[in-house]
Amino acid sequence: MNFIRKIIKSRNLKDEAFLHELRELLGFKPDDLYYYKKAFIHRSNKEIDKSTGLPLNYERLEFLGDAMLSAIIASHLFKVVPSGNEGYLTQMRSKIVSREHLNVLGQDLNLLHFVKSNISKSKFGINIHGNVFEALVGAIYLDKGYRYCEKFIQEKVISSYESVKELEGLITSYKSLIIEWCQKQKIDFNFNVYEDTGNDPVKHFSVKLSFDDKIVGKGRATSKKKAEEIASKRAYFAYQKEISKTL
């Protein structure tokens, strides 16, 4: 407690403004700003924690937040779906904590606004939003404990879905779905990936997805994974009726 009081007394105007914004964001008053400041420091800032001599950034908090999200959501699903087996519960949890969902949450909360870095925020990939969201969850746990962390996750993450039934129909990976369907239907599929930079300063990849040598979807993005997902999504909507009948 003495340590916390010293921090409170030594707050400057920036700290007070940060504290005010955090209270609005979290719905409660943080005790120790140190954890929250750390949750928004990007590794490009190259700060060193004076007390440990280790790099000062959000990555360790991101790891902790990921674990807390997984545990709290697993507990929630265990309670609300008493008939669900291990495979079903694992699948539902994966949908709730999907990178896509966490990125949307981070964007909705405008967490990038708080990030401190030495590179332009325009150069960050989309996953920065989800990474910082996880780091924030880790900071809440260290500062306020399990109960506050659970309440935050209930309000910001779990409440995004009205019911588990809604989750069942959620597609988190079109590529995985397409592969599963093709294997069940004994359809030969192929992701033809090639570099397609053109006049863009950033490297791009293009993908042509084929079923039995027929092109059924195309995608282009800054990574092979994203391009494959785009091509798979287009193929899914082209074959949605057939896929829905057999999966």
Supply the residues annotated as catalytic: 66, 134
Q: List, in order, residues 6 or more apart from 28 with CB less than 8 Å away.
A: 144, 148
Angstrom distance (rounded) from CA 42 to CA 111: 12
CA 118 to chain centre: 22
Helix (H) or strand (E) holding 68: helix 59-80
- Six token digits for residue 133: 């969201």
Angstrom distance (rounded) from CA 207 to CA 114: 36
Distances (CA, A) of 127 to 27, 193, 226, 237: 25, 22, 12, 25
